[in-house]
């Protein structure tokens, strides 16, 4: 049996300011740091083999802060993001760990854009209340809470699911099938779409499902089936 933990990042600076964030890369607030640390206390006795995060700093910060409380004694090592140029490719080789003891005592942290937050398009950076004043509360509610109606030039939850679920099935499930324990630190909507797959929720059901910041979700995996465990 393998463990899978999903964790929504702690409060970010734009969560605090009530702004649509999406793919804009903003850090955690002090409260967000505390939420990530508190989540780490809940996860302190888990033994993870690999950590996945989105490419966004708030998710990476959350994972690393949570792991500070882990009692395994292993060190999270952030893998370089895939290089864009030949020079960058050469430099990624400089991150290689040659010491066998250090390698054994580390946990790989892999960033992947498939886990990024839902892209809010032209709403990014806009205040949610001011957006409601401009477009109307009903329209903004549809953009935020419908399954397949995207904001202007952005993603609906359906579009987010179309990238997160195949990634999860192709990348994460094989690791769990090998018996590895996986920790994913990501975002409200990218995780909701994964939960939709794990719990076999309909689009209507997942729209009512809330994932709070800094509160881990624990699933076990065995014989091809996922079971949600209370923390």
At 147-189, the pLDDT tens digits run 999 999 999 999 999 999 999 999 999 999 999 999 999 999 9
pLDDT the model gives residue 140: 92
Confirm whether 96 is domain-assigned.
no
pTM, to two decimals = 0.95
Confirm whether 198 is domain-assigned.
yes
Note whether 195 and 206 are within 8 A (CB).
Answer: yes
181: domain CATH number is 3.40.50.1240
Confirm whether 92 is domain-assigned.
no
Confirm whether 187 is domain-assigned.
yes
Percent of the chain with pLDDT over 90: 88
Active site residue 117: yes
Q: Averaged over 53-67, what is the pLDDT?
A: 98
DSSP 198-221: HTT--HHHHHT----TT--EEEEE
| Domain that includes residue 13, residue range | 2-74+109-229
Confirm whether 50 is domain-assigned.
yes
Confirm whether 87 is domain-assigned.
no
| pLDDT, the chain, mean | 95
Q: Averaged over 7-26, what is the pLDDT?
A: 96
Confirm whether 101 is domain-assigned.
no
Catalytic residue among 35, 114, 117, 187: 117
Q: Averaged over 39-64, what is the pLDDT?
A: 98
Confirm whether 85 is domain-assigned.
no
Catalytic residue among 9, 35, 114, 187: 9
pLDDT tens digit sequence for 117-146: 999 999 999 999 999 999 999 999 899 989
Domain count for the chain: 1
Active site residue 205: no
The confidence band for 92, taking pLDDT boundaries of 50, 70 and 90, is confident
């Amino acid at each position: 049996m393998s463990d899978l933990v999903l964790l929504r990042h702690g409060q970010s600076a734009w969560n605090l300011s009530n702004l649509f964030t999406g793919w804009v890369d903003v850090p955690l607030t002090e409260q967000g740091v505390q939420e990530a640390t508190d989540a780490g206390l809940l996860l302190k006795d888990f033994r993870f083999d690999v950590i996945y995060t989105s490419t966004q700093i708030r998710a990476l910060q959350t994972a690393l802060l949570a792991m500070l409380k882990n009692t395994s004694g292993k060190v999270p090592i952030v893998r370089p993001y895939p290089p864009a140029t030949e020079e960058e490719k050469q430099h990624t080789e400089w991150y290689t760990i040659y010491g066998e003891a250090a390698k054994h005592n580390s946990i790989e942290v892999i960033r992947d854009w498939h886990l990024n937050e839902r892209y809010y398009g032209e709403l990014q950076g806009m205040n949610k209340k001011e957006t409601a004043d401009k477009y109307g509360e009903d329209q903004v509610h549809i953009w935020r809470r419908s399954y397949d109606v995207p904001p202007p030039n952005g993603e609906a939850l359906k579009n987010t699911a179309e990238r997160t679920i195949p990634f999860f099935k192709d990348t994460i499930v094989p690791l769990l099938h090998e018996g590895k324990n996986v920790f994913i630190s990501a975002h409200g909507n990218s995780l909701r779409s994964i939960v939709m797959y794990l719990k076999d929720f309909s689009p209507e059901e997942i729209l009512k499902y809330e994932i709070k910041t800094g509160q881990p979700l624990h699933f076990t995996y065995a014989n091809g089936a996922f079971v949600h465990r209370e923390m």
